[in-house]
Amino acid sequence: MSFLPLTPEDQKLIEAAREVLQRNYHPVRHSVGAAVLCASGRIYAGINVEACGYGPCAEPIALGAALTNGEREFLAIVAVCKGEDEYAVLSPCGNCRQLLVDYAPEAMVIFSDDGQVVKTQARNLLPGAYRSCFD
């Protein structure tokens, strides 16, 4: 898989995810923040929601906020978690990868690969992704 270099806009998106997590961090309930950049130029952020048994990740919360506000074109997304001394960029889980393929296959996903922050299109993160019979 090939990766693209990060841009200043990518750094701003990472910072937006960090900021939403800093404002809402709770060690058990809210430990991941995400931000999505839309074609409109707006950034929407969200945090994970931990619940008994399962809670949605931060990426679908951020994506849902964008969709709720009428956004339909997504340029980039990133998720971060709080480490001991800093906020680290995360790789999306399998469920989030499928969600990104479904809603934003062309969007750039900023993630951690062997400790290095990189980016690639969402569709590259899930080869052979499930597609509905109606697609």
The CATH number of the domain holding residue 97 is 3.40.140.10
Helix (H) or strand (E) holding 68: helix 58-68
Helix (H) or strand (E) holding 66: helix 58-68
pLDDT value, residue 116: 93
Report the domain count for the chain.
Answer: 1
Question: Looking at residues 40-65, what average pLDDT do you find?
Answer: 92
Specify the pTM. Answer: 0.91
Q: Are 59 and 101 in contact (CB under 8 A)?
A: no
pLDDT value, residue 102: 94
pLDDT, tens only, 106-122: 999 999 999 899 999 99
Catalytic annotation, residues: 59
pLDDT at 55 over 90: no
Top-confidence residue, 54 or 45: 45
Judge whether 63 lies within some domain: yes
pLDDT at 59 over 60: yes
Instruction: Give the chain's end-to-end CA distance (angstroms, integer).
Output: 25
Q: Which two tokens stand for residue 17?
A: 């995810």
pLDDT value, residue 74: 98
Judge whether 86 lies within some domain: yes
Judge whether 2 lies within some domain: no
Nearest to 34 by CA among 110, 115, 103: 110
Judge whether 73 lies within some domain: yes
118: containing domain: 8-124
pLDDT value, residue 131: 77
Judge whether 53 lies within some domain: yes
Q: Which two tokens stand for residue 64?
A: 């849902």
Judge whether 129 lies within some domain: no
